[in-house]
Amino acid sequence: MAEPAAVEPAPRVDAHAHIFTRAMPFAEDAHSTPDYDYAVESYLADLDTYGIDYGVIAAASLYGENNAYTLAALRQYPRLRGTVIVSPRSDFATLQKMADQGVVGVRLQWRRTDQFPDLREEPYRSLLKRMADCGLHAELLAKGEQLPLLLPGFAETGVRIVIDHFGAPPRDPTQRAAGLDAIGQAAERADLWVKLSAGFRIPYDIAAECTDRLLGSIGPDRLLWGSDAPFVNHENSASFEDALALYTRLVPNAATRQAIDEAAMKLFFQ
């Protein structure tokens, strides 16, 4: 009788997922309007199904600054952490109260704009200072071609930086290389991590190129893995199982994946 195939150990941490219900109002500028629930209980069931111990809820721009559902989930389930979207004028007490409930970062969703604030000026200068004082990182989603402009400003603030979705690499190879170079340069001056998340949203060869470049430039202890469940706008073509299989394909070395896991545990849960 043939021996059963070896099962790859699951990641301990899913560093990027979203939760929501149909009862939640959408922001006026929501780019998508899911007509189904992905409640926190559904997400936890998925984590359990695939043997994942912990999860990080990424604030979804679809709901603007309405963080109530995420905060309630963090209070109820200690195995979760989360990020929020807030007004840049949020005061220290507001941010600290969120941090006390399990919030680990503030998401800056700038992928759909070409107009960025000057981080050296108010209100962002003070916001980033307050975030750093509360131990919150800046979760940045911006187009890869914009990273050479954005990251030097972040590196000067002292706030920790977590970049979503491989750095949102563009199709153009020259722009993609410039974005990856900017990540490597910023990592020399700041505490910076990159999520290998939402790989299903980009061609495999680009995801593989970015993974290899990032492993070489910043190393596995500055990388995180995220499912991007529930795969908004790709529900019929992506799944948790697919996300895990893609991750193993991109990072086939088990020791490297373990180092990525340890980075997530240290950043979010210690």
Give the length of the chain.
Answer: 270
- Residue 229 is given by DSSP the state B
Gap between the Cα atoms of 33 and 131, Å rounded = 30
Per residue in 116-131, pLDDT tens? 888 889 999 999 999 9
Confidence of residue 2 (pLDDT cuts 50, 70, 90): very low
Q: Which two tokens stand for residue 220?
A: 């596995």
> Using omega within 30 degrees of 0 as the cis cutoff, is the peptide bond preceding 230 cis?
yes
According to DSSP, the residues that pair with 82 across neighbouring strands are: 57, 103
DSSP 62-92: GGTT--HHHHHHHHH-TTEEEEE---TT--H
Which helix H or strand E contains 225, and what residues bound it? strand 223-226
Q: Is 189 helix (H, G, I), strand (E, B) or coil?
A: coil
Within 8 A by CB and 6+ apart from 8, the residues are 248, 254
Backbone angles phi, psi at 32, to 5 degrees: -155, 155
Gap between the Cα atoms of 50 and 244, Å rounded = 9
Confidence of residue 110 (pLDDT cuts 50, 70, 90): confident
Q: Is 97 helix (H, G, I), strand (E, B) or coil?
A: helix
Overall average pLDDT of the 247-257 stretch: 97
In one-letter notation, the amino acid at residue 9 is P
Region of residue 64 (left: phi > 0; alpha: psi -120 to 50; beta: else): left
CB 158 within 8 A of CB 132: yes
Per residue in 61-74, pLDDT tens? 889 899 999 999 99
- Residue 38 is given by DSSP the state B
Domains and CATH numbers, the chain: 13-269 (3.20.20.140)
pLDDT value at residue 5: 45
pLDDT value at residue 28: 77
Q: Which two tokens stand for residue 136?
A: 């919150």
pLDDT value at residue 202: 96
Instruction: Share the mean pLDDT of the chain.
Output: 93
Per residue in 130-168, pLDDT tens? 999 999 999 999 999 999 999 999 888 889 999 999 999
Residue 55: closest CA among 231, 270, 227 = 227
pLDDT value at residue 8: 65
